[in-house]
Structure 1
């Protein structure tokens, strides 16, 4: 398994890896050192490598504001990481390669080694027509500047140097095989996704007890619970947190759990209302199992955890795929969308009241929760990986037998 040092890209794979280890497979996991202990907890063997990508402790502004700022770092990281990873696996070629969508070296190495490559996608995947409807505009944006054109040229050259018979768009967006680790309900145009390539296995959550537990504090046993979290990356939003305190602080019958990340201190928010607890990090799934509502940035992980627990959501997207996820959640009837620039205390409070006071929302949340539970999750993902592994090993054994018979 290959990934980058970001919770949104590592966490979705952990239970799949844990299940493969439990089934007796030796799994190595190439990951920057900051996540090595987390990976080791699954029973996999970390293979640390140096990454040049901004880390989750860095200022989110390091990712820039334009499309080129978001895509260029992954290519540059891949170019410097590939030699490291090739050396790390010298003499220990795996039988099958798994990778997150951001790990470009994984697909190159699988091709070099002649072994199957399966992408584990933690978010939406391409559908038939995606290139014309979405990709063409993104490519045009990149090609409109010298920096963007230079990036595309470097990408194509890197692929050619490594014997990859495809261009940047197909390499980054069209895997040979992909297991999609989000509910099918979150996928736009799911009816147009090629099921011979992509299989939706849904949320692979497993046992999160190692992350800790959460309980209502004394005096809040009968209160409803509201979780507020913008995930682990785009969390430098003290103004938004203050609006949340104005919206929900002191609200009768509600206890509020506010996660503010690593870039904001609780002291910056001013006096805390008695019904609010503030943390830099919380065991999100444990809180959601107790929660009655969820204010979320609508990242893929948070969105599917909200669906899996049947929790109505207020989506306040911050970046990248979160805007599309917010639209999908609203279309399913399980969320309200409050744009970041409109997230005033009044708007947030009105959104919460409309959610928890609507029996149709509760019914839709229950329906989505049942659909997520029926998708198979971790066991189905492991079954499909083993199926591909058996096919590859049988094919390799057959080829070896053929060569031996010809030699005799």
Structure 2
């Protein structure tokens, strides 16, 4: 019995923070000769096709990457109900897409519930690719149960769980929805271990930290540091939570008048540059930037502390001011601050004065610089893309050549 190139099927949702971390892993698996299909809504088809994977398109009911984040609502149930509804309507589409073309192994983002159902149906291994933190021993008691205590008591919360249970049972799965959604049998964690809370309590027989899986970003464009820019600061709130004109104005005030500083300000597509008022010549306003190219030359990163941005800041040893906006970003901001490589400022605290004062202290902090170099070295040893691909191949069933 020898192994031979396999059909590996990847499943994700149409969100930059869920798709981007997987792309280099997919590219590497294709380069190793495997046939990789990637089930994704059409808005990400071109980006996925660029890896060499074969796109299996399906239609999603979730808010898209260019929709206003307010479309997700504000409560826990507002956030989770759309994923279940989308999974239920997506499953028949995916069953049809893979009819007669079942894979040898399923890879899936943590938000792709149908992928785990399909792996169960096909009787093939499933490996989760987690783009953010994972559960540790005690997570249920310390985080999940308190978070769900009130919603579980409501009629709406009980209806959500009843619907989830019924859907799983229809598909022959007896797991509780919480275990189904949050406890994979095997998972590769696409963040550095340094960003994982309670990392010493993570079950490493299930979860393997491979760190940032970054590749050549040349296609995203280049960026050149301007002559005379003694310090460069990049401000980016990622791709979703960018509708913050007031915050951007504070950033312009904070850095626009600092001698020798150059500010690169990414404002996204939902803010008109005119809302920023008069902008000094040392301020570069963009709707989108090649983030990693800039961070390799930057002296400071003002970030929303999403998983992707946080690890890019660590990988380039760039000190950070974390201004979290939603979900896991608050925890990431605290982790970064605890590591001694960042300072957390909540949006309402991020005045021009606070940003400037924090920035000046941070860029000249030798201890922060030392810690960043240490973490950068640790991350380099986690293996990244190549190790992830090795571990995925190790999960493939051995077949006759």
TM-score of the superposition, structure 1-length normalised?
Answer: 0.94
* 1:393 maps onto 2:398 in alignment: yes
Deviation at 1:267, TM superposition (A): 1.1
Secondary structure class of the residue paired with 1:365? helix
SS, match of residue 285 in structure 2:
strand
Distance 1:2 1:264 in 2: 32
Please report the RMSD computed on the Cα atoms of aligned residues, expressed in angstroms.
1.1
1:283 and 1:364 map into 2 onto residues whose CA distance is: 25
1:226 to 2:264 alignment: no
Q: 1:7-406 residue pairs with structure 2 within 5 A?
A: 7-217=16-226, 219-220=227-228, 222-389=229-396, 392-394=397-399
Q: Give the gaps of 5 or more residues in structure 2.
A: 1-9
- Retained in 2: the 8 A contact 1:250–1:274? no
Runs of 4+ in 1 over 6 A off after TM superposition: none
Write the deviation string for residues 15-37 of structure 1: whole angstroms up to 9, x where unpaired: 00000000000000000000000
CA apart distance, 1:138: 2.1
Q: Partners of 2:90 and 2:210 in 1: how far apart? A: 29
C-alpha displacement at 1:227, in angstroms? 0.3
Aligned to 1:401: none
3-state SS, counterpart of residue 393 of structure 1? coil
Unaligned stretches of 5+ in structure 1? 398-408
Distance in 2 of aligned mates of 1:333 and 1:9: 27
How far 1:357 sits from its partner (Å)? 1.7
Three-state SS of the structure 2 residue aligned to 1:285 is: helix
The count of corresponding residues between Structure 1 and Structure 2 is 392
Give how far 1:232 is off. 0.2
CA contact (8 A) 1:315 1:336 kept: yes
Quote how far apart the aligned CAs of 1:358 are: 1.1
How much does 1:159 deviate? 0.8
Report the secondary structure of 1:252's partner residue: coil
Higher RCO (CA-CA < 8 Å; seq separation 6+): 2
How far apart are residue 148 of structure 1 and its match?
1.6
SS at match of 1:215: coil
Cα offset, 1:339, TM superposition: 1.1
- 8 Å Cα contact 1:26/1:44 also seen in 2: yes
Partner Cα separation in structure 2 for residue 379 and residue 99 of structure 1: 18
Q: Quote the Cα distance in structure 2 between the aligned partners of 1:148 and 1:354.
A: 46
TM-score by length of 2: 0.96
Instruction: Give distance in 2, aligned partners of 1:146 and 1:120.
Output: 33
